[in-house]
A and B are shown apart, each in its own frame.
Chain A
């Protein structure tokens, strides 16, 4: 642990631009958590300011019914981040579980699961997710499950491959030889060995989940009113693009910064783990 921290600070010293995403995400997460403490009511309408441009009174301006856009973007961020993290958790759990099972047991189970992965990956994700989301009632839980439930295939492939190679290592063979239970072998020996792959894949999947969520919400099959995410704010902004371009500009910049930051942090973690292993 201490070694990791030392390595992290070495990488940060070498490539200081990693500070930017770290600081931005920290700031964003703190802001999201503390949002209810901000003394602005996200639903209060200010009829004297309809679609007014950013000013001192309203940082990011107001929307078409006079709600403060700053606080709406912050609340939108809460939803986007929540969906990103929860969908990541869902896909990581499914992907890890199926990947471990597939790689560890091999044979028929493996074959079956891998065909499932083939089938699911042969439908463009956009089509797949839109189709599934029309079958289900739209909403926060649905979108988390839909995104998480249909983006685990890559993680499963990675974990499977890793499991298959770890399985051949001596200590695993030994554990099998002395008759340890499969579940115990998987949890005790294999899971720790594939952990770093897992972390790297998981970080990357947060940003793609945020991206997917924003597309779906933009298309109107994601987050529904009165709840808002950055994507649905953008959907709304599309209608008043000519009058209030800042309503489109601001959430988009937040999406870019957030996705960029998660991607960078993914690289940072990969660097951390890779150099760790090679030493």
Chain B
């Protein structure tokens, strides 16, 4: 597989300034390559930095965050985050559809705002487009939905609205940050099927952040495992499931059968702390196949 990556990011660092003196590193020198046309899963326990990585890509980090990277290319073109530069065709949907929409604005307002920001369309034309999009994401009665407020819709319906909004900016890459964690199990499956369907129809690349290896197995072609602000292992889904090397990945996988589908992996008790934590200089990647690599401790040279 030698696909051209849609997105490539090297040596990404994110640190949060706690106050004038202190800062904490939350993303430590990671490299990310997202192959075009795939659904890429990102797994890792809570707080491992999955969302922060996504926010760094979207350029929506918190105000007290500092980000730097050595290279960032999108479809081969270098990316700059300078003010005047054009927006990347990436959109993101978030974990909690209940709070993702402004409670005091109608669904229609949200959609039309997104459309008109990108295209010079009349209100009427934009409205028509919005209704079409709502239909596409499987919302019944789209005309009525347009005039409703977010609180009048169920969580699943709102997440569909979010997906419609995300698609309206005609993205090439869709980032879904735990899009179903806040939803009922049955709704989860519907939303995931929708994402899968849209990915094929719209020729999208999808990054799917999740806690659920079941979802990864069902949807993703490749997986990245994050642990404490680093990507500790990555590979195709098969490689990760059957030939995982990193103890943390193994630990995560071990938890899968005992954990009901959809439940979070918070409870994992990993025994990784073998003595002192390794510094960046003591770690390196071992390439196991073209797609599979794992972080290991540097062998000491005598």
Closest Cβ neighbor of B22 among chain A residues: A14
Q: Within the assembled complex, what's the spacing in Å between the Cα atoms of A14 and B17?
A: 13
Bound-state CA distance A35–B204 (Å) is: 79
Which of B1-56 touch A at CB < 8 Å? Answer: 19-21
Chain B contact residues: helix, strand, loop or mixed: loop
Which of chain A's residues 13-69 have a Cβ closer than 8 Å to chain B?
14
The residues of A that contact B20 with a CB separation of less than 8 Å are: 14
B3 vs chain A, min Cβ distance (A): 47
* Complex Cα–Cα for A14 and B20 (A): 7
| Interface of A (DSSP majority class) | helix
Residues of chain A contacted by B19 (CB below 8 angstroms) = 14
What are the residues of chain A within 8 A of B21 when measuring CB–CB? 14
Size of the A side of the interface (Cβ < 8 Å), in residues, is 1
Residues of B within 8 A of A14 (CB): 19-21
Name B18's closest neighbour in chain A (CB-CB).
A14
Distance A50 CA – B21 CA, assembled complex (angstroms): 56
B19 (CB) vs chain A CBs: closest residue: A14
Contact flags (1/0) for B251-263 with A, using CB distance below 8 Å? 0000000000000
CB distance from A139 to the nearest CB of B (A): 49
Please give the distance in Å from B48's CB to the nearest CB on chain A: 22
Q: In the complex, A14→B22 CA distance in Å?
A: 11
**Chain B proximity of A268: nearest CB distance (Å):** 16
A14 to B21, alpha carbons, bound, how many Å?
9
For B20, give the chain A residue with the smallest CB separation.
A14
Q: How far apart sit A4 and B19, CA to CA, in the bound complex (Å)?
A: 19
C-alpha spacing A271/B21, complex, angstroms: 18
Separation of A22 and B90 alpha carbons in the complex (Å): 52
> From residue A90, how far is it (CB to closest CB) to chain B in Å?
39
How near does chain B come to A14, taking the closest CB pair, in angstroms? 5
Shortest beta-carbon distance from A6 to chain B in Å: 15
How many Å from the CB of A198 to the closest CB on chain B? 28
A14 to B18, CA, bound (A): 11
* A107 CB → nearest B CB, Å: 34
| A12 vs B20: C-alpha distance when bound (angstroms) | 13
**Complex Cα–Cα for A14 and B19 (A):** 8
Contact indicator per residue, chain B 133-169, by CB within 8 Å of chain A (1) or not (0):
0000000000000000000000000000000000000
CA distance A204 to B288 in the complex (A): 64
In angstroms, how far is the closest chain A Cβ from the Cβ of B158?
Answer: 31
Closest Cβ of chain A to B18, distance in Å, is 10
CA distance A194 to B19 in the complex (A): 29
Q: Mark A180-220, 1 if CB is under 8 A from B, else 0.
A: 00000000000000000000000000000000000000000
Query: Roughly how many angstroms separate A263 CA and B117 CA in the complex, as a whole number?
Result: 45
What CA separation (Å) do A151 and B19 show in the bound complex? Answer: 37
Query: How far apart are the CA atoms of A130 and B21 in the complex, in Å?
Result: 51
Q: Chain A nearest CB: distance from B253 CB in Å?
A: 34
CB nearest to A14 among chain B residues: B19
**B6 nearest CB across to chain A (Å):** 41
- Closest beta carbon of chain A to B184's beta carbon, Å: 29
In the complex, what's the smallest C-beta–C-beta distance from B293 to chain A, in angstroms? 39
Closest 3 A-B residue pairs measured CB to CB? A14-B19, A14-B20, A14-B21
Give me 3 A-to-B residue pairs in the complex whose CB atoms sit less than 8 angstroms apart, sorted by A's number.
A14-B19, A14-B20, A14-B21
